[in-house]
Amino acid sequence: MSDLDKAIAQLRACRPIPEAQVREVCHKARELLIEEANVVTVAAPVTICGDIHGQFHDLMELFRVGGDPPDTNYLFMGDFVDRGFYSLESFLLLLCLKVRYPDRMTLIRGNHESRQITTVYGFYDECLRKYGSANVWRYCCDVFDYLALGAIVLGASNTLEPTNEATTRDDVEIEVCNADGDAISHFGRRGKAGGSDQGSLNGKTGRTGPPGSGASGSSGGTVGNPAGAVLCVHGGLSPLIDTVDKIRLLDRKQEVPHEGAMCDLLWSDPDEIDGWGLSPRGAGFLFGADIVKMFNHRNDLSLIARAHQLVMEGFKEMFDASIVTVWSAPNYCYRCGNVAAVLELSEDPGGQGFFSRSNGDVGRSDGGVNRGVLLDSDDGSKRGPARRYRVFQAAPQDSRGMPAKKPVADYFL
């Protein structure tokens, strides 16, 4: 067993690894990450995860529900640290897995992967408490600076691989599964007959929009990429970024700035507004459906997957399924009572199946000039990737025999 495998085993038991080993792992991780593009290209199948926030035992539950790495190909959209009690173990485990299985693990940066934010929201204090010095925090922050800003998923299928069900239903665009893998609801594609169980996701008509409508089909797809590409980013869009290629041009290897394109990608939120709005977070922007649809069309994207916002149901599709929020920290801060979710995109059988991680998919954004008008009326029904959300709850306190400090959540008393 290699040192790295030993470290992974130790971290899986929620035990920190020695400072010297942290330093070594961080160094190796940096060497890997420095080669990755600002926007990493990832081939389906992939399981996309949102915020983790140091909830280590829930990360273990996520792996139980989503499949263990490296058997499952994972993409984590940032915010590994802060708030929970085990930021260190959670981040280091993900980082060790990244070093061990670089092509099976994709980590992109969240707004909490920053020196300034971690000093306010807990990761700094946790490192100090567990190691007696800030060295480990410094090593980790140096890694943060090299994390990619986004990812593009190519080759996703527009049909779902069956889970526990005997037959594949190729008219299903969205399937929601519980933690045991049982499908609890299906949502068919618009225009297909027999969508008897079709309803509104997350209980909100309008906001979520019927799956398969509108922008989820705005991409005609390309060879080997019939369902259109999926952009993954922690926060959202930026008024300074109109094409994915512009993200590639940023100099990302720095602390998250207070403003500018890089800041926006990590801080912005979709909202029910037209155009751009000021963010209540004091960083990034709010952006409306028109912005998302324009951006997706121009960049041949069928979907933007992002994290950053707590959603009580674990995931929330907005703007005619042109953007989805995925949230992977159940009972956030041991207080919020929410469930969590991961998003599975399966592999298109006709896809080419290989994409370079480092070079990205340069040149895919052509400004939309060859794509006809926005929201074209092409009514091909199999557009946009089929999406399976696996919804799960917080791990029981004593799950998997691991000691869990009884968390104390703050209230006003």
Residues with catalytic annotation? 112
Smallest distance, Å, CB 7 to another protein? 30
Smallest distance, Å, CB 278 to another protein? 11
Smallest distance, Å, CB 112 to another protein? 8
Smallest distance, Å, CB 70 to another protein? 32
Q: Among 194, 203, 282, 363, indicate the residue that binds another protein (CB under 8 A).
A: 282
Helical residues (DSSP H) of 115-257, grouped into ranges = 115-121, 123-131, 135-144, 244-248
CA distances from 201 to 210, 243, 288 (A): 8, 29, 19
Site for another protein in 332-391 (CB under 8 A): 332-338
86/124 with CB nearer another protein: 124
409 lies in the binding site for another protein (CB under 8 A)? yes
From the list 171, 110, 74, the residue with the least C-alpha distance to 390 is 74
Count other C-beta atoms under 10 Å from residue 304's C-beta.
Answer: 25
Q: Long-range CB contacts (< 8 A, 24+ apart) of 15-22? A: 15/89, 16/88, 16/89, 16/92, 16/130, 16/131, 17/92, 19/131, 19/133, 19/135, 19/136, 22/92, 22/136, 22/139, 22/140
Stretch that binds another protein, among 36-44, 54-62, 294-302, 308-316 (CB under 8 A): 308-316
Q: Among 118, 268, 299, 331, indicate the residue that binds another protein (CB under 8 A).
A: 331
From the list 296, 225, 287, 285, the residue with the least C-alpha distance to 260 is 285
83/298 with CB nearer another protein: 83
281 lies in the binding site for another protein (CB under 8 A)? yes
113/245 with CB nearer another protein: 113
Residues touching another protein, count (CB under 8 A): 28
Residue 166 three-state SS: coil
Smallest distance, Å, CB 413 to another protein? 4
Q: Among 310, 318, 340, 345, indicate the residue that binds another protein (CB under 8 A).
A: 310
Q: How far apart are CA 214 and CA 293, in angstroms?
A: 9
DSSP 201: G
Q: How far apart are CA 368 and CA 388, in angstroms?
A: 29
From the list 390, 388, 391, the residue with the least C-alpha distance to 172 is 388
Q: Among 280, 363, 369, 370, indicate the residue that binds another protein (CB under 8 A).
A: 280
Site for another protein in 109-128 (CB under 8 A): 111-112, 117, 120-121
Site for another protein in 53-112 (CB under 8 A): 111-112
Count of alpha carbons within 13 angstroms of residue 156, beta-carbon side: 31
9/120 with CB nearer another protein: 120
- Please give the full DSSP string across 34-61, using - where no structure is assigned: TTS-SEEEEESSEEEE-B-TT-HHHHHH
Residue with tokens 């306190």: 397
405 lies in the binding site for another protein (CB under 8 A)? no
Stretch that binds another protein, among 95-103, 208-216, 239-247, 401-409 (CB under 8 A): 401-409
DSSP 163: S
Q: Among 13, 34, 184, 312, indicate the residue that binds another protein (CB under 8 A).
A: 312
Q: How far apart are CA 291 and CA 272, in angstroms?
A: 11
Q: Among 4, 32, 134, 283, indicate the residue that binds another protein (CB under 8 A).
A: 283
Using CB under 8 A, list all residues that contact another protein: 111-112, 117, 120-121, 280-283, 309-312, 331-338, 406, 408-413
